Amino acid sequence: MSYNINSSLAIEINKIAETTNHKTDTIEYTMTLHTPVLDIKLPICSSIDTMRNYTTNVSDEMIAVFFMWAGDFLKDVLPYRDILELTIRTYDRITLKYESTRYRLILLNNENNQYGSYNSKESKETLNKFGQFTISGQCLLREVEALRTKHVSGVFRSTTVKDVITSEYAEGMKDLAIEGKKIALGIDVVEPNNDAEYNHITVPTGVMLLDLPSFLQNTIYGIYNGGIGTYVQKYNNKTTAFIFPAFDPERFEKTTKRLMIFRSDSVKYGYIENTFKVEGDLVKLIAGKEIEHLDDGGTALIDTGDSIAAGNPSLLTKRNVDVSGSKGVVSSENQLSGSAISNRRDGANNTVYLGNESNLYKHRSQMVMKKGSVIKITWYYADPEIIYPGMPTCIKYADSRLGIVKLYGTVQGIFYSYNFAKKTLSAILFIMVTKPIDQEKTA
């Protein structure tokens, strides 16, 4: 089916709409609950909701809801409530492919001892006559559960922040295992803005491995100019630890693995089933009709400053002396570092002086994040597994005044929900982009 709208944007959208989307009414989810003594296939599942907050969490917040007969739950499951696991299996009825992931399951609905009113002396068969319980549980990747207990510390000499991260993650994963099998965990580190080699980098005792990138970003070193995210996610069928800048609009032009989102005002595109297309490393998708733009209008930068200046202690012995002939002259100008995050159109920039500060990456990040605004985009018939943490993004749409407009940004997160009745996934993407005032008109 094609929609004839005379615009270059419509042509690109039509190409996506005309593809065959295998995620439309074809994906089946099944769940199996595991105790140390039983594997229980769950016949009635209610919902699976997943929130991937790439900037504040380290892994998925997945909530599974299912039903169990009262006796089966109280006798077979509840005694093992602290060591439960859940396997979620997906089946694609078009490709005939199965995928399964086993999670640690944490029960959520045992508040106020709600099951204590049932007499434990009654038989399972008698208790089943009371009906069914609605059970909610949080699913945690077993790889993440193992990583959460791993610490790192030491003094690392003649090295960079990237080398410390990659070497410590590789070392930390050597002795991690699930059921006696070593964890095959990948690591993906976006090239840091800070490429300086330090005489030594010190990591004190007590730093968790998953917190190592944030520790380096926010102490005396720094990694990125746009905040930082650390996230463990299953991507391309492999569990991978991603370390990335939380917001970097320039990355879209520097990488091939990126996301293009097309937005149209035509109501026709709000109801089509083929909503995305994968072309090599490039993912293209059509935004649903529900879009929300969260923008403070630039008040955060006005209130707290849009440029920074600081004396850099690390430069004192390197370049604060200008030598001319036989004379050396101390130059305070060479000790000063700074950055302008945004140039206001009225010329009234607010520069914040930080004093002596060796880590400007942290302070630049605070201002860069205030320069962005978040767009919430509905994505029908979604495939969340083709989106990865910190994915560089371009949103393209038509404006009556500016023509075709592109907004560049970074995926901040994705919420998605599986509908057991329709056998489809719907999602909401959270994209941080440059503010609309910085819109770019295409050629």
Question: What pLDDT shows up at residue 394?
Answer: 96
Those residues of the chain that have pLDDT short of 50 are: 1-6, 112-113, 316-317, 319-326, 328-336, 439-443
Question: What pLDDT shows up at residue 367?
Answer: 81
Q: Is residue 421 part of a domain?
A: no
Question: For the segment 161-190, what is each residue's pLDDT rounded down to a tens digit?
Answer: 999 999 999 888 887 778 778 877 899 999
Question: What pLDDT shows up at residue 398?
Answer: 82
User: Domain check: are 204 and 109 in the same one?
Assistant: no
User: Domain check: are 136 and 155 in the same one?
Assistant: no
User: Domain check: are 139 and 157 in the same one?
Assistant: no
Question: For the segment 349-364, what is each residue's pLDDT rounded down to a tens digit?
Answer: 666 655 556 788 888 8
Question: What pLDDT shows up at residue 21?
Answer: 64
Q: Is residue 224 part of a domain?
A: yes
Q: Is residue 19 part of a domain?
A: no
Of 355, 370, 385, which residue sits at a domain end? Answer: 370
Question: What pLDDT shows up at residue 336?
Answer: 45
User: Domain check: are 114 and 169 in the same one?
Assistant: no
Question: What pLDDT shows up at residue 112?
Answer: 44
Q: Is residue 8 part of a domain?
A: no
Of 317, 346, 370, which residue sits at a domain end? Answer: 370
User: Domain check: are 156 and 139 in the same one?
Assistant: no
User: Domain check: are 191 and 83 in the same one?
Assistant: no
Q: Is residue 135 part of a domain?
A: yes
Question: What pLDDT shows up at residue 200?
Answer: 93
User: Domain check: are 153 and 121 in the same one?
Assistant: no
As a dihedral over the C-alpha atoms of residue 292, residue 296, residue 297, residue 299, rounded to 10 degrees, the angle is 180
Question: What pLDDT shows up at residue 328?
Answer: 46
Domain of 110 in residue numbering reads as 27-143
Give the global pTM.
0.84
Q: Is residue 16 part of a domain?
A: no
Q: Is residue 442 part of a domain?
A: no
Q: Is residue 34 part of a domain?
A: yes
User: Domain check: are 189 and 125 in the same one?
Assistant: no
User: Domain check: are 169 and 226 in the same one?
Assistant: yes
Domain count, the chain: 3
Question: What pLDDT shows up at residue 297?
Answer: 54
